[in-house]
């Protein structure tokens, strides 16, 4: 019910004076943070490499739409499929390790891809892929219309969030939570824990790629910024700020971080310092994150 109220509020935003591209960026970052939250909040796996899925999908989608001339829906499908394959490969390498070793392997793979994209001809290096065309999706939805694009991004956010909700409330999700809480006991009950974590990693990477593909049409470019290690750190920050293991936490965290970047841009590099101060305050005062603490007070699941 709470999620439904939030969705209705987001659907009515174009009727207000709120800048739509600002909200669309929040929705994209909320989706990638939700995908990351699926992995760490319910699987207990800390990845420092989710930027590779977010950025890779952007590059693939941008190239498919601009160079290959594919329609937006096929461009998004190409980006998501590429990230599913990338997640399967990266997961096969890293998933047998735990803790800091798993985190460092994902970071290493992500940085390796960063340098590949820096040198690959199709990415245009530091210039990135610019001026992504906004054609008609499914031959009907004109993405050049800001309102139409907004509702397409909103629909993508809703579908992605519902997929996460269904995953964590399925038998698979319950086993994943048991692995997070006590993996040796889950093994003793006969569960192949490595396989469960591997599937969760692929799902998380695929959804992160979906968010990256949507973001391409919002900002109309694919750049190295989205595959840099700092983007992975930002995703972690958004997730922790909103609340681990919560459905609406990534949206709240994305709103705080993107809002600070948008409204405090005049402070330049000091924005990072201010975000750090916000994070420290959250860790000290809201150990469960914004939504996590709110859910505790209201005694409901958010």
Residues 164, 170, 171, CA angle at the centre, nearest 5°? Answer: 140
Give percent of the chain above pLDDT 90.
Answer: 53
Residues 163, 37: contact at Cβ < 8 Å?
no
The Cα 237–Cα 257 span in angstroms is: 8
**Helix, strand, coil percentages for the chain (3-state, nearest 5):** 75, 5, 20
**pLDDT under 70: residue ranges of the chain:** 265, 267, 302
| pLDDT, tens digit (0-9, with 9 covering 90-100), for 82-113 | 999 999 999 999 998 888 899 999 999 999 99
Number of separate helices (H) and strands (E) present in the chain: 13, 4
| pLDDT, tens digit (0-9, with 9 covering 90-100), for 4-34 | 888 898 989 888 888 888 899 999 999 999 9
Q: What are the phi and psi torsion angles at 159 (to 5°)?
A: -60, -45
- Supply the pLDDT for residue 91: 93
| Ramachandran region, residue 170 (left: φ > 0; alpha: ψ -120 to 50; beta: rest) | beta
The Cα 125–Cα 253 span in angstroms is: 31
- Supply the pLDDT for residue 42: 87
Torsion of CA 179, 98, 238, 2, to 10 degrees: -10
Whole-prediction pTM: 0.92
């Amino acid at each position: 019910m709470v999620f439904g109220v939030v969705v209705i509020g987001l659907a009515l935003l174009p009727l207000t004076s709120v800048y739509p591209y600002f909200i669309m960026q929040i929705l994209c970052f909320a989706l990638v943070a939700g995908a990351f939250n699926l992995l760490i909040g319910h699987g207990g796996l800390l990845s420092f490499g989710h930027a590779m899925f977010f950025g890779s999908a952007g590059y693939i989608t941008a190239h498919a739409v601009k160079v290959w001339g594919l329609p937006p829906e096929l461009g998004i499908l190409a980006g998501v499929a590429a990230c599913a394959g990338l997640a399967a490969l990266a997961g096969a390498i890293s998933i047998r390790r735990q803790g800091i070793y798993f985190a460092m392997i994902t970071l290493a793979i992500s940085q390796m891809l960063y340098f590949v994209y820096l040198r690959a001809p199709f990415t245009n290096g530091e210039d990135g892929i610019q001026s992504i065309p906004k054609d008609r999706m499914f031959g009907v939805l004109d993405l050049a219309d800001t309102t139409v694009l907004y509702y397409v991004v909103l629909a993508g956010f809703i579908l992605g969030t519902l997929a996460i909700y269904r995953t964590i409330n399925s038998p698979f999700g319950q086993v994943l939570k048991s692995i997070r809480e006590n993996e040796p006991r889950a093994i003793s009950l006969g569960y192949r824990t490595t396989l469960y974590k591997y599937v969760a990693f692929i799902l998380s990477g695929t959804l992160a790629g979906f968010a990256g593909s949507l973001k391409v049409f919002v900002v109309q470019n694919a750049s190295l910024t989205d595959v840099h290690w700092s983007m992975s750190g930002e995703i972690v920050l958004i997730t922790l700020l909103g609340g681990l293991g919560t459905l609406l936490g990534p949206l709240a965290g994305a709103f705080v971080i993107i809002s600070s970047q948008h409204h405090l841009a005049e402070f330049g590099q000091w924005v990072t310092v201010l975000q750090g101060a916000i994070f420290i305050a959250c860790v000290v005062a809201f150990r469960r994150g914004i939504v996590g603490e709110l859910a505790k007070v209201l005694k409901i699941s958010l």
